[in-house]
Amino acid sequence: MVEPSQQWSLKTEPRKWQMAALKNWLPERKGVISVVTGGGKTIFAFLCMDVFNREHPDGRLVILVPTITLLDQWYVSLQEDFGVPESDLACFSSQEKAAKPARINLLVINTARKTAEQMTHGQPTFIIVDECHRAGSPENAKALAGDFAAALGLSATPEREYHEGFQRHVVPALGPVVFEYSYAQAFEDKVITPFGLINVRIDLLPHEREEYDKLTRRAAVLFKKAQTDPEAGNKLKYILQKRASVSAQARMRIPVAAKIADEHRGMRTIIFHERVRAANTLYTRNAQAPWERQCGAP
């Protein structure tokens, strides 16, 4: 049994959208919050944690994240923005593993597949899943197993086109989307700053182009059949996912992204990529750069 510590407290005033979202989450103590990147979803999670902490002073919290980078960000924010003492925190990843669970347990989802359920035994547990759309695969969904007194999913894009994992694995464990806060709303509220969007086109390598075009032709055939055949519709989704994967893993994306970053030396730069391996490659290539870089997966 984990001994309760002093009450944590939020260091900032909650925003209006966060209080509105809390109202929607409270009835079932369960649900997914869809929030634009930079909108303040971590602070919202602290509001929910505060509710749970007051109701279950002897409870345990399990926070799942997709990468070590996000684990580090949560670790710092919990202390600086929520007043959680270091003694209340335990981290579990491929790089470190605490001797035992604490009040708040931060787990990278790959590690949590085998350990998260064990942490629910013996006391009320609140699970929070950051970037919860990443838990939609059959393997990652293993981290959602357990008996939870409360559940919260956080994501900028929880429901993705041609990806049924959210409905199949995430919703049963965490609940449906109960609140959405879009970029337009955040911009109107002056929560996030305006930005310019510039698309940079890259060339596919010959074998990538061949695979992409082959999948495009198959998709065109299946699209016609899908109008009357549900099975063809399922195959179409699979083919479109494979085609998107070809694009996401295109070899030239990494050197082009690195070149763009190099052209903005002296500016704080955040690089996102759909694939963790590619993000890590970008980080490794630029780790010696004399300016700040952060790499992660969305």
* DSSP string of 91-102, one letter each residue: EESSS-B-SS--
Proportion of the chain above pLDDT 70, given as a percent: 92
pTM of the model: 0.74
Closest CA to 47 of 164, 241, 179: 179
CB of 184 closer than 8 Å to CB of 219: no
Buried b (16+ CB within 10 A) or exposed e, 32-54: bbbbbeebbbbbbbbbbbbebbe
Residue in the structure block whose two tokens are 């590690």: 111
What pLDDT is attached to residue 210? 96
In contact, 180 and 147? CB cutoff 8 Å: no
What are the φ/ψ torsions at residue 216 (nearest 5 degrees)? Answer: -65, -40
Q: What is the mean pLDDT of the chain?
A: 87
Mean pLDDT, residues 190-196: 84
Q: Which of 92, 112, 117, 110 is nearest to 102 (CA)?
A: 92
pLDDT of 6 reads 54
pLDDT, one tens digit per residue, over 17-59 is 999 999 999 999 999 999 998 899 999 999 999 999 999 999 9
Q: What is the pLDDT of residue 44?
A: 97
The pair of structure tokens assigned to 8 is 């944590």
